[in-house]
Amino acid sequence: MNSSVGHIAIFLMPERGHVLPALGLIAELVRRGHRVSVPATAGFTAAVTECGATPIPCATTLPRDLPASLFDAAKLALTEARAVAPRLEEVFRDDRPDLVLWDVAAWAGGVVAHRLGVPDVVLEPFLTSNAHWSLAAEVVPARTFGPEAIRFFTEVHRFVGSALPEFTSGARRRIALFPREFQPAGHTFDERYAFAGHCPADRAFQGTWDPPGDRPVVLATTAAQVCADAARAMPWHLVARGPVHSPAPNVETHEFVPQPAVLRHASVFVTRGGLAGVVEALHHGVPMIVVPHMTDQRLNGRRVEELGLGVLLDTVTVDGVRSLVDQLTSDSAISARVGEMRRMMHRADGCAVAADVVEEELAR
């Protein structure tokens, strides 16, 4: 798509499940000649630089692990946005972008865009919402608004300038970083929502990986010890993220896993069910065992199970992992559904779809 070259600022929550899915879009915008600036913590500077964008050094208030409750996570998002918005507003006031893209959890992006009067587009790394289906209604238990909740939403209103639902739904366009087919009630979402699917990036900064032999590969990024115990004496090779005591010869462990490189060879993926990981697994045609930690991950796991792309597991046991790995590697119906989703996602060309939306908004 032809468009004038622009300066695009992209705000992402500094967490793997938010930054990594956007890298392919960042790289595609740079390839098309746009200047892209991305606030980035030290841990993500290499990723942003590899895409050809300019990292804007930024600190973070987020803890290493996010809480299970989305309400608690929202409180962290507010603290983060309050901490980083003043400096980033100053940076972009001096180097004004033509368009702001902001992850729906990176509220500083929406605030800076509104304060500078710059048009904005929202990136959706979670399942999205409309009048027919609401993520909040699905994952947040019904609650009486007690003093804590009232205080929180009052603080949000004061900071962003409106009620939270109006703030997060105010952008003209939204780019969902997952396929429409995975979105509940996906057919009810109108042209404001562009479902890009997967936006793959090279991610050389994560390193490479090759299988050590011809055994089926199982990737586990959660429940590492249980999965390692399950792999003992089994005819598959386990790649696990996290510490493992006394691993068997067919088990390798990593502090950080080059996930796309391993998924390229994997037969099963044991995951918490973050949407970024789910989409990567589907892009590579890998069925999943979803063991959720956060409430949105449980919803993703439920969707995986509904679509016949894997199973949702509440309690991880050695026998359960062995049984499910055997089931997922031998079930032809699951294999066919995962394969069809993979083919659909490859046909979609997510990077181009997302970048076209950005250029359409730049041209307005």
pLDDT in tens, 352-361: 999 999 999 9
For the segment 318-339, the average pLDDT, to the nearest whole number, is: 97
- Give the CA angle between residues 342, 25, 182 to the nearest 5°: 35
Q: Tell me the average pLDDT of the chain.
A: 95
**Nearest-CA neighbor of 175 among 360, 362, 353, 363?**
353
Return the pLDDT at 3: 55
Predicted confidence band of residue 148 (pLDDT cuts 50, 70, 90):
confident
Predicted confidence band of residue 243 (pLDDT cuts 50, 70, 90):
very high
d(CA 51, CA 53): 6
In sequence order, the β-bridge partners of residue 360 are: none
What is the pTM assigned to this prediction?
Answer: 0.95
Pairing of strands 99-103, 7-11: parallel
For the chain, what percent of residues have pLDDT higher than 70? Answer: 97
In total, the chain counts a number of residues equal to 364
- Give the CA angle between residues 23, 27, 32 to the nearest 5°: 150
- Give yes or no for residue 339 having a pLDDT over 90: yes
d(CA 242, CA 67): 18
pLDDT in tens, 8-39: 999 999 999 999 999 999 999 999 999 999 99
pLDDT in tens, 77-104: 999 999 999 999 999 999 999 999 999 9
pLDDT in tens, 188-204: 999 999 999 999 998 88
Return the pLDDT at 149: 85
For the chain, what percent of residues have pLDDT higher than 90? Answer: 88
- Give yes or no for residue 71 having a pLDDT over 90: no
pLDDT in tens, 32-70: 999 999 999 999 999 999 999 999 999 999 999 889 888
- Give yes or no for residue 173 having a pLDDT over 90: yes
**CA distances for 292 relative to 68, 144, 177, 299, 338, angstroms:** 9, 26, 20, 9, 20
Return the pLDDT at 170: 87
Predicted confidence band of residue 279 (pLDDT cuts 50, 70, 90):
very high
Helix residue ranges, H only, 147-200: 147-160, 164-168
Long-range CB contact pairs, 144-151, < 8 A, 24+: 149/71
d(CA 47, CA 282): 22
For the segment 296-311, the average pLDDT, to the nearest whole number, is: 97
Return the pLDDT at 143: 59
Helix (H) or strand (E) holding 219: strand 217-220
Predicted confidence band of residue 142 (pLDDT cuts 50, 70, 90):
low
For the segment 314-341, the average pLDDT, to the nearest whole number, is: 97
For the segment 118-136, the average pLDDT, to the nearest whole number, is: 94
For the segment 337-345, the average pLDDT, to the nearest whole number, is: 96
> What DSSP assignment string belongs to 47-110?
HHHHTT-EEEE------SS--S-HHHHHHHHHHHHHHHHHHHHHHHHHS--SEEEEETT-HHHH
- Give yes or no for residue 144 having a pLDDT over 60: no
User: What is the set of domains in the chain, with CATH numbers?
Assistant: 7-202+348-362 (3.40.50.2000), 205-346 (3.40.50.2000)
Question: How far does Cα 137 stand from its chain's mean position?
Answer: 20
The region of weakest confidence among 115-119, 139-143, 222-226, 302-306 is 139-143
Q: How many CB atoms lie within 10 A of CB 43?
A: 12
- Give yes or no for residue 145 having a pLDDT over 70: no
